[in-house]
Structure 1
Amino acid sequence: MQKNNYIDILKYAMNMERKAGEFYKMYMDKVEEDSNKEIFKQLAEMEDEHYEILEKQLKKVEQDGLFAEFDIKSIGKAEDIFKTNERDIKSIDFSKAVLDLPILRMAYGMESDFADFYSKAAEKAEDPNAKKLLETLADWEIVHRDSFNEEIKLATEHSWFSNSFAPF
């Protein structure tokens, strides 16, 4: 893969991360359930961190055509900020969580697209540092996507049960 391809990938990824941060900041005040507000706040911060990582790499690639070594430990890990299994399910207001479903579905779609983009870019990357960075970002986005899927499932099923409805 050539330098210009890496530059294009990084610029596109930076735009995606910026837009994701804006999305989470905008919808942080629109979601109803408090735990979703906190999730969106943390995701907005995380997307800003992703942007900064990509921006540093872009400068390095523009300068000498190579990616800097990427140390995942230096920036922490993509912790599952949802922690569905760890939080007290009884404290979730599912009547509000159900109202958040359209927004959660949009976030799921966005994270899914990001995971696909980073995975495909990593497959084509020849630079080992680029491959490692892109695979790490893909892994993080997969965690976010899967967590949104669990949130959506949890709110949907609770809504069914509270309304004495079970389609399956």
Structure 2
Amino acid sequence: MKDQELKIIQTAIINELEGYEFYKMAHEKTTDPAVKEAFSTLAEEERKHIEWLKELFEKVRDSEEDVIKLSMMDNPPSPNIFQWENLDRTSASLAVSVFGIGIQMERMSVEFYENAAKRSEITAARSLFGTLAKWEQVHLDMFSKEYDKLQNTWWADQGFAPF
């Protein structure tokens, strides 16, 4: 039973590491200071998730009681990472690409954690994976909203807008 949860957590750590590396790369590639800061903040948040998941791995491995305590976490608030009004729309092409990839990553993370919750045999672990899915859903919602705005800006810049 614990082996399944441990494998799920290991995969989650890899997913978060990939997110960390992606946001770090996006930070390095963009020239817009507000976007740079946003990606830096996201990378740091992913790094914190990695540390938290490593701690979770040890607790699941060593004691189910600690998992129950971790499963009592509150639902995640919006991290308010982006100050969208400060985004430089002149670099919309890069931003559209980066946000599009970010949306795909976050969507896959939500699905991963939702499926992990369904597969887990430990009640507290199911709750915990549900919380992780909510964390990633917050990011997905933020990215999707901004992606739509950026896409419209990009279309207008390219002369594709019907208005």
For normalisation by structure 1, the TM-score amounts to: 0.83
Q: How many residues align?
A: 161
- Point out where structure 1 has 5 or more consecutive residues left out of the alignment: none
Aligned counterparts, 1:41-120, within 5 A: 41-64=40-63, 67-70=67-70, 71-72=72-73, 77-82=77-82, 84=84, 88=85, 91-120=86-115
Residue in structure 1 matched with residue 133 of structure 2 by the alignment: 138
Deviation at 1:126, TM superposition (A): 3.4
**Counterpart of 1:108 in structure 2: which amino acid?**
I
> What corresponds to 1:148 in structure 2?
143
Indicate yes or no: 2:119 matched with 1:124.
Answer: yes
Q: Could you say what secondary structure the match of 2:130 adopts?
A: helix
Give the superposition deviation at 1:163.
4.9
Distance 2:89 2:60 in 1: 47
Q: CA RMSD in A?
A: 2.4
Q: Which residue of 2 aligns with 1:16?
A: 15
* Structure having the larger proportion of residues in helix: 2
How far off its partner does 1:78 sit? 4.5
Evaluate the alpha carbon distance shift between residue 30 and residue 82 of structure 1 in structure 2; reply closer, same or farther with a 3 A threshold: same
Letter of the 1:135 partner, please give it: G
The 2-side partners of 1:57 and 1:6 are apart by 10
What are the superposed Cα offsets for residues 115-152 of structure 1, whole Å, 9 maximum, x if unpaired?
Answer: 11011111223323212221111111111112111222
| Distance change (3 Å), C-alpha of 1:124 and 1:83 | farther
Equivalent AA in structure 1 for residue 31 of structure 2: E
Q: Retained in 1: the 8 A contact 2:34–2:83?
A: no
Q: In percent, how many aligned pairs have the same letter?
A: 32
Q: Deviations over 1:64-122 (max 9, x none)?
A: 3562412535xx744242354xxx3xx43211133322222111111111111011111
One-letter amino acid matched to 2:4: N
8 A contact 2:93–2:154 mirrored in 1: yes
User: Where does structure 2 lack aligned partners over 5 or more consecutive residues?
Assistant: none
Contact 1:33 1:100 in 2 (8 A): no
* Runs of 4+ that moved beyond 6 A: none
The alpha carbon displacement at 1:27 in A equals 1.7
Structure 1 residues 83 and 116, CA, compared in 2 at 3 Å: closer, same or farther?
farther
Of 10-19 and 144-153, deviating more is 144-153
State the SS of the aligned residue for 1:81: coil
Seen in structure 2, the aligned counterparts of structure 1 residues 9 and 116 have a Cα distance that, compared at 3 Å, is same
